[in-house]
Amino acid sequence: MRIAFRLLIAVLPLALSFLFGYLLTGPLSLGGGEKDILLAIPALAWSVLYLACSLFFWAHRRPLLWSFGIAASVATVLLLVAFLALFLVSVVA
């Protein structure tokens, strides 16, 4: 039961980002056509980073709340660093 709960918490953001992408292509269309799906890419990237970090901390036997909080923080910082790097590359080029 504890393993299933921990795995569910780790995978839930990934499932929600796919649901968000589906909603953007259909019922929740924002009028941008295919460009709407670009809004789901940061959510998908964050959720993949979160899943990887939370599984890493789970493998290293960290406590449940600590690992999910740190995994969310690490995923957020890594996503911000990636966006900053892309921004700097686009400004310099």
In this prediction the pTM is 0.87
Q: Provide the terminal-to-terminal Cα distance of the chain, rounded to the nearest Å.
A: 52
pLDDT value, residue 32: 74
Model confidence pLDDT, tens digit, residues 31-53: 777 777 888 899 999 999 999 99
Mean pLDDT by 10 residues, the chain (93 residues): 90 93 81 79 94 94 92 97 96 86
DSSP the chain: -HHHHHHHHHHHHHHHHHHHHHHHHTTT--S-GGGGGGGHHHHHHHHHHHHHHHHHHHHTT--HHHHHHHHHHHHHHHHHHHHHHHHHHHHH-
Q: Could you tell me if residue 4 is left (phi over 0), alpha (psi between -120 and 50 degrees) or otherwise beta?
A: alpha
So what's the pLDDT on residue 22? 86
- Structural domains in the chain (count): 1
Domain that holds residue 54: 2-92
